[in-house]
Every structure is written in structure tokens, then in C-alpha cells.
Amino acid sequence: MKKLLFVLLTCCFSSLAFAQDKLPGLDKSPMDMSYCPANYPGMRVQDKPVDPLTARIIYGRPQKNGRKIFGELVEYGKVWRLGANEATEIEFFKNVKIDGKKVKKGRYTVYAIPGEDKWTMIINKETDIWGAYKYDEKKDLLRVDVPVQKQDSSVEALTIVFEKTSTGSNLNVVWDTTKVSLPIMFKD
């Protein structure tokens, strides 16, 4: 009887302690994920024909919220985590080429150095990093300059998507009225 009473009391106090713990609030910049090919998991679960999985990118998705983005919130000439919170990560499920350089399948961090007319896109070997505070240039796998494309309409939430091309895919980064595209080749 004493053992039963002890077990019941332990369960009651454990559940009270758990009930008092609060779950974290909703993040203002939720994490999002894009696949190459687009909607890969959805197509696969529906047994629809789909190209093999080539890449996936995971990023924090900040909102514009009436702010001036490039040149103020995201400073020109400084390394940016390419999103919010954790640094953006890309995973390649096969070997690819970026700017003629071979990139082995694996997981990497993507940074950018935005400018008015061009961005420097960076693929870095270090992963599981918050922000760009401990960014280490020595761990860069490659850097590629890409031109800025001005858009007619403004995009509220940072959006990163893959766009199929004849030789692979473009990794498109769009926010506010700015768009950049990083070409990724996976077909010879």
C-alpha cells in the first residue's frame, strides 16, 4: 500500500511540475524548408513521378513588417546568415557544381554578403550555427558573386526556393524587392 501511495504521489507531483512549465512562444521568424525538386515529399507520398532528391534548404523566415530591409536591417557589405535565427543550411543529396566548383554531397551553411548590385553567396563547411556571429571565413568551401535583380512588387516574408533549369536548379532568394539566384548544376 505504501508503494502504491508513493507511486501515485510521485505521478501527481510530476504532472504538476510539467503543467507549470511553459512551452516557448511562437517564433516571429518561423523555420521553413524548400526542396529540389519542389514539393518532393508531397509528390513522393502521392506516388507521383518525381525527379530524385537533389537538395534541401532550411532557413529562418523573417517578415518585412514595414522595415527597410537591404542597406538597413540587413547591412550591405556584411556577412548575413541568410535568414533569421539559426544560419541557413543546405544539404546536397548528390554531388553538384556551383560556379564550376565541385561540391560533395553533404550539409553546409549558406551565408550571403549583400550589396546593392551584387551579392556574394557563401557555402561554408561549419553547420549548426546561430546567426553569423561566429562565422569563420577559413571554413568557406566557395564564394560566388551573383547579380541583384530588382522586382516590381515587394515580398513580405523572406523566401528561398529552388527553380528547375536545364542543367540543374537556381537557388532563388527573394525578399522585399530584391531577388538573387545561385545556379547549381547537377546534370553534365
What is the predicted pLDDT for the residue at 2? Answer: 53
Q: Is residue 13 part of a domain?
A: no
**Is the distance from CB of 149 to CB of 180 less than 8 angstroms?**
yes
pTM, two decimals, is 0.83
How many structural domains compose the chain? 1
The three three-digit cell numbers of residue 18, written as one number:
510539467
Closest listed residue to residue 178, CA positions, set 151, 147, 144: 151
Q: Is residue 12 part of a domain?
A: no
Q: Is residue 8 part of a domain?
A: no
What is the predicted pLDDT for the residue at 43? Answer: 80
Closest listed residue to residue 53, CA positions, set 89, 107, 88, 94: 94
**Is the distance from CB of 150 to CB of 144 less than 8 angstroms?**
no
pLDDT of 59 over the 70 cut:
yes
Q: Is residue 4 part of a domain?
A: no
Domain enclosing residue 163, as ranges: 24-185
pLDDT of 175 over the 80 cut:
yes
What is the predicted pLDDT for the residue at 148? Answer: 97
Q: Is residue 88 part of a domain?
A: yes
Where residue 40 falls among pLDDT bands split at 50, 70, 90? confident
Sign of the torsion angle spanned by Cα atoms 177, 148, 172, 25: negative
User: At 181, which amino acid appears?
Assistant: S
Q: Is residue 15 part of a domain?
A: no
What confidence tens digit (pLDDT) does each residue in 100-151 have?
A: 999 999 999 999 999 999 999 999 999 999 988 899 999 999 999 999 999 9
Q: Is residue 165 part of a domain?
A: yes
Q: What is the mean pLDDT of residues 23-28?
A: 78
Whole-angstrom distance, CA of residue 141 vs CA of residue 143: 7
What is the predicted pLDDT for the residue at 65? Answer: 94
pLDDT of 7 over the 60 cut:
no
